[in-house]
Every structure is written in structure tokens, then in C-alpha cells.
Structure 1
Amino acid sequence: LKRGRGIHVVEPLIGVEMSSDYNKTHCGLAPQSLVASILPPVLIVELLLGLPGNLLALCVFCRHLQSWTPNVVFLLNLVLADFLLLVSLPLRIDYLQREEDWVFSDAWCRINLFMLAVNRSASIGFMTAVAVDRYFKVVHPHHKVNFISSSQAAGTACFIWAVVFSLRLPLLLTGDLLMKHENHSYCRSFNPDKDPKLGIKLHYAVYLAEFFFSLIILLFCSFRICCILHRRHKDKKKNMRQAVRIISVINVVFIVCFGPGVAIGLTALYMKTQGESYCDTFKSSGEWFVIGIGFTYLNSVLDPVIYGFCSSMFRDAVKTMINRLGLVALQLSHRGNTVNGDKG
């Protein structure tokens, strides 16, 4: 407290950053109690289910290096994208279990959100690549795209990764992701800023554009493959029916995992445009948006289903593993019965 010429001037020495973060947000900052109660157990289940399936896929694909096809190359990169998510989830779970209080540094907040965003973009990119690969094999069987080598497919995968990292780099370089208010540190990539920085705006734009762009491609591929199958109804070739199943599974996983977050996010953005009189609705839609993003993390659990439909190598490896486990269980049971018989 300074005194000068009859004027009392208060200089807050503590909490300057907290008050400024609060004042620059639309409708303020507060813990999302619904998110903190629902999402942590969901993320723990997704982590426990997603890790074994993706480890199995990684082992299968790496053990068959000599028989890689472009399709397998794209699926392997989908596995790698899932590992970015699985590595990031423990920090996210810790953050939510503390009722949205980020105890790590600002740099780790940005890295964590960057990896989550890269997982989403890369997953969308490689799902689309698998669908396009199947489209050319069915609709344009003599196109030169069908005859690319595995090294050329790897080059395509590197290009997809380069695009993904370039589009998500602004999120890593933005300094407004960690916001503080009332002893809470909020690590959010979708903070309710009144005037978001350019990096955040780019993040929003990429979040929406990658979904709708890939959705259009997936629906187009599905429509064209179904048309070809309908024309050749008499043949009913097995590879065409398989292509329809693959595209259908990819579409279902894509919409289930990425659709809810986009739909609720657009609702939240609309509520923001309605002004502060709709703050309660805006905050509620914001909570449901974060829960909708939880569906995004579900892709690491459902992606092994795509591997099973898209790769006979993966299906055969899973069948072999199940048969071996059944044989081992049978042998153990037989040994137990023999021991009991000897004792009798």
C-alpha cells in the first residue's frame, strides 16, 4: 500500500496473473465438476483397453516387415499415432483427478495438448489414407496408385506426419494454454478467451476443417464403392464386400470418436456469440464439449478393430495367439487332472 498526495494506491503483489487470466475470458474461469467426475474413470478404461491392443498390433506389424503393403504402412502409422495419445493420457488423468489443477509446468501443458491434438489429426489422416487406398483398389483397380511400393507408402506417411505437425505447431508455440484463477491452473486448448490469439484460432480452424474434409472423402469413397458393388451384383466379389466392410467400420469409428466433439464444440461457439446473458448455457456446453473430446480418445481402443478388418496379417496373428492360449490352457487343465488322478 502506497500513500501519496492523499491517494491510496493498492499494488497487488500476488495473483496479478490470475486476475488478468480471469478478466480476459468469456464468462470467467471455473472448474468443470461434471468433467472431473465423469472423464477420469473413462480415460483410465480407455488407457487400459487401448494399450494392449496397440502393443499387439505393433508387435504383429513389426514381425512381418518383409510382407508390408501400403495398407499395412498406413495402419502402422495409425498405431504410432495412438501411442502419442496413450503416453499423454496419464498426465491428463492426473489433471482431471485434481479437479482441473495442472501441477506441471507451462511447457508440459503445451506439450501434452500438442500430443493430444497430433494424435487426433494423425488418426484422422491415416484413417482417410486407408479408406482412399481401399477406394482405388476397388473403383480404379488399374490405377498406378495401386502399384506403389512400401517405401513410397512410407514417404506418403511421412508427408502426412509433416502436414500434421505443421498444422498443430501453433498450439505448441502458443502461451495462453495455461490459465490461473483462484489457486487453480487450467490447462486447456479450448480456453474461453474473449479474443483468442492467432495460434488458438488456427487450432480451432484445424479442429473443424480436418473433420469435415476427411468426412467428405470417407463418404465419397463409401458411396463409390457401394455403387461399384451394386453394378457387379452378380459377381459379388469377396474383395469388394470386404472393402465395403472396411469403409463402413472406418466411418463408424470416425463418426463415433470425432463427431460428438465437433457437434458440441460448434454449439459452444454459437452460445459464445450470444453474449454473457447465456453464460450458464455456454459453460454447460463447454463441459459437454470436453466430455465429447473424451470420445476422441476412444479411437485408441477402437483402432484395433480397424486393424482386424483391414489386415489379414493382424487377424491371423490374433487367431494364432488365441489358439495358443487355448492350447496352453488345455495342457494346464490336462496336467491338473493327471496330478489329481495320481493322487487318487
Structure 2
Amino acid sequence: MNLTNSTQSNFDNCSSIDDFRNQVYSTAYSLITVLGLVGNGLALAVLIRTYQSSMPFHVYMLNLAVSDLLCVMTLPLRVLYYVNKGQWNYGDFLCRISSYTLYVNLYCSIYFMAAMSVTRFLAIVYPVQNLRLVTENRARLVCGGIWLFICVSSSPFLMSGQDFDPLTNKTKCFEPPPPDGLDRLIILNYVSLTIFFVLPFLIILLCYAGIVHTLLTRSHVARRQQGMGSRAIRMIVIVLLTFLISFLPYHVQRTIHLSFLSREGTNCAETIAMQKSVVVTLCLAAANSCFDPLLYFFSGEAFRNRLSSLRRSMKGSAMHHSARLKRAMGTEPGENHQMKAS
């Protein structure tokens, strides 16, 4: 208790970073919302319109796009909260759902990337067994299991709702937990760090090591598998960059920050720097929704073919509609030709 009181007293004596926090969060979440809605909305439209030719890899992409869209649809509430300088006006239910959805997206993204990596690994390292093991129905079952597992295991994030702050006379949301819940939060952090980040990241690294080893040691590769290998390399680069930019800084900083909260003798400079790093790394974590469309476009030729096919079909549909409109107005192409000849 003395440790907690000492830490909290030190925080109270430091200057507030509210202006920095409100400006960075409102700007970053606005950009993420726009980019995430456009990128994932386009990807989802392409995947749904061409779903009749679905493959296991694209089942994972479809679920990843849905997860990202659910996340970015709640970000405008966070933007309004920080634009209003930390005043929450939208009820306890939306406060809990907004917090919960962000973390569900974060960990669903990690596990869907792990599933996509395993799929690529089997296709390149064990191509014969892959035909029997990897099917569209099994991909759907894996996605359903990931959704269920992440939604249930992330339920502790639903425990944190809105709270009234008598010092500022404001209703708060998305704020740090009270000091008396720090021990419980540290335990939850290590559990989530192990299950939701370290474990899937190790699976991804092992898959990529196997893929790279196979591509480097295979003396003769069929043309089809050469193309698959180049797509796998692009996926490796994008996924690792996403982890290095979004997931790794957030999880490392979160662990350091919780350890910092339990320390004695911290000064204001350290406290302010730590609080600002929380703001920056959380924005980077939320930005994973903007990186995933790059994964759709660059990791598979099939997605680009679907996009080109959809664009051609939409162009053909527009030309057909225009021709029907001309006929309805009595301006057949043949009539126009005769008028010009005369």
C-alpha cells in the first residue's frame, strides 16, 4: 500500500500530458479510421464478390479484413472522446465494447497471421501433404476457433468501463486502471504476452525459417512453386514489418510500463516519458489495421487477379447499363451512325 501511494503521489505531482495525449490520439485514430476503412473495405468487397473461387488462404484474409473493420468502426468514438478533452458521453456499454474490440482485433490479427503462415509453410515445404491437410472447410473451422478463443479470453477487457472523475468533473473512458488493481493487471499482462504474442510469434518465425530453408536448398523448383515462393517472401516481409512496427513495441512497452508503475523513486521526467510512450505505442498497435491490406495485395497473385477481374466486371456492367439507358431513350448506336452519315 505504501508503494502504491508513493507511486500515485509522484504521478500527481508531475505535469499532465493530457494535451499531448488528446492531440496524438485524435489525429492518429482519425488517420487509422480512414485508411483502415478504405483498405479493408475494398479488400472485403473483392473477397466477398469473388468468394465462389475461395481458397483456404483467402478464408483467413476474409476473416482478417472483418476483424480490422470491426476495430476501425469503433475508433471514431475514441476520436470524439479525445477531441472532447477526455469527456465520455456515450454510455458505459460503448466504453467497454470500444476497449474490448481493439484488443480482440489486435490478437485476432496475430493469430490469423500465424494461420496464414502455417498455410504457406505447408504449401511450400510439404506440397503433397498440403493438398490433403489444408482445405477450405478446415480453414473455416480454424477461423471459428480463433474467433471463439480470442473473444472469450479477451473478456477481462470488458471489465473496464466508464468512470466518473471527481477531480475534473468528467466521465472517463480508456483510462489507466486504479493503483489497487496493479497486481492483477501485471498477471494478466504476462499471461496475454505469452499466449497472445510470444506463442504465435514463435510459430510464425518457425514457419518462415522452414520456408526460407526450403527455398534456398531446393535445387529445382517448378514454375508454380517459384511464384508461390516469391509470394511467401513478400508475406514474410510484410508480416515481420507489422510485428516490428505494431505488435512488438506495444507489448514490450506495456510490460515495461507495468513494471515502472510498481517502482519507487521515479522522477517526473521518467513518468512523463513513460506516459508518452504509452500513447505512441498504442497508436502503432491500432495501426496494424492499415498494414493488413498490404498483406492481401502483395502476398497473393490470386487476390490481385480477383481485384482485376472485379474491376473488369464492374466496367462491363457499367457499359451494359449505359447501352440499356441509350436504348431506353431511343438513341440506338445504329441510329447515331445513320445520322452522322446523312
TM-score between the two structures when normalised by the length of structure 2: 0.79
- Is 1:152 matched with 2:138? yes
By how many angstroms is 1:67 displaced? 1.2
Partner residue of 2:179 out of 177, 183, 193:
193
Does the aligned pair in 2 maintain the 1:35–1:290 contact within 8 Å?
Answer: yes
Partner residue of 2:124 out of 116, 120, 138:
138
By how many angstroms is 1:165 displaced? 0.7
Structure 2, unaligned runs of 5 or more: 319-342
By how many angstroms is 1:90 displaced? 0.4
Partner residue of 1:308 out of 297, 301, 320:
297
Partner residue of 1:251 out of 228, 234, 240:
240
**1:91 counterpart residue number:** 77
Letter of the aligned partner of 1:256 in structure 2?
I
By how many angstroms is 1:280 displaced? 4.3
Does the aligned pair in 2 maintain the 1:131–1:218 contact within 8 Å?
Answer: yes
Does the aligned pair in 1 maintain the 2:36–2:69 contact within 8 Å?
Answer: no
By how many angstroms is 1:146 displaced? 5.4
By how many angstroms is 1:253 displaced? 1.6
Partner residue of 1:122 out of 104, 108, 120:
108
Letter of the aligned partner of 2:91 in structure 1?
S
> Secondary structure of 2:181's partner?
coil
Partner residue of 2:27 out of 41, 56, 77:
41
- Which gives a bigger RCO, structure 1 or 2 (Cα 8 Å, sep 6+)? 2
**1:240 counterpart residue number:** 229
Does the aligned pair in 2 maintain the 1:249–1:306 contact within 8 Å?
Answer: yes
Partner residue of 2:266 out of 277, 292, 309:
277
Q: How has the CA–CA distance of structure 1 residues 103 and 287 changed in structure 2, closer, same or farther, with 3 Å as cutoff? A: farther
- Is 1:298 matched with 2:287? yes
Does the aligned pair in 2 maintain the 1:103–1:185 contact within 8 Å?
Answer: yes
**1:265 counterpart residue number:** 254
Does the aligned pair in 1 maintain the 2:231–2:301 contact within 8 Å?
Answer: no
Q: 1 or 2, which has the higher helix percentage?
A: 2
By how many angstroms is 1:164 displaced? 0.2
Could you tell me how far apart the structure 2 residues matched to 1:109 and 1:88 are? 10
**1:287 counterpart residue number:** 276
> Secondary structure of 1:196's partner?
helix
TM-score between the two structures when normalised by the length of structure 1: 0.78
Could you tell me how far apart the structure 2 residues matched to 1:220 and 1:295 are? 25
Could you tell me how far apart the structure 1 residues matched to 2:243 and 2:131 are? 24
Does the aligned pair in 1 maintain the 2:10–2:266 contact within 8 Å?
Answer: no
Letter of the aligned partner of 1:93 in structure 2?
V
Does the aligned pair in 2 maintain the 1:27–1:192 contact within 8 Å?
Answer: no
Does the aligned pair in 1 maintain the 2:36–2:72 contact within 8 Å?
Answer: yes
By how many angstroms is 1:268 displaced? 1.6
Does the aligned pair in 2 maintain the 1:88–1:112 contact within 8 Å?
Answer: yes
Letter of the aligned partner of 2:299 in structure 1?
C
Q: Percent identity?
A: 25
- Is 1:105 matched with 2:118? no
Structure 1, unaligned runs of 5 or more: 1-21, 329-344
Could you tell me how far apart the structure 2 residues matched to 1:187 and 1:152 are? 39
- Trace 1:164-183 onto structure 2 (pairs within 5 A): 164-174=150-160, 178=163, 180=165, 181-183=167-169
Could you tell me how far apart the structure 1 residues matched to 2:122 and 2:11 are? 50
Does the aligned pair in 2 maintain the 1:167–1:206 contact within 8 Å?
Answer: no
> Secondary structure of 1:128's partner?
helix
By how many angstroms is 1:71 displaced? 0.6
Deviates more, 1:270-279 or 1:149-158: 270-279
> Secondary structure of 1:85's partner?
helix
Does the aligned pair in 2 maintain the 1:133–1:146 contact within 8 Å?
Answer: no
Could you tell me how far apart the structure 2 residues matched to 1:230 and 1:80 are? 35
Could you tell me how far apart the structure 1 residues matched to 2:150 and 2:36 are? 22
**2:335 counterpart residue number:** none
Q: Deviations over 1:283-309 (max 9, x none)?
A: 431222122111112111111110012
- Is 1:72 matched with 2:42? no
**1:224 counterpart residue number:** 210
Could you tell me how far apart the structure 1 residues matched to 2:249 and 2:297 are? 25
Q: How has the CA–CA distance of structure 1 residues 120 and 35 changed in structure 2, closer, same or farther, with 3 Å as cutoff? A: same
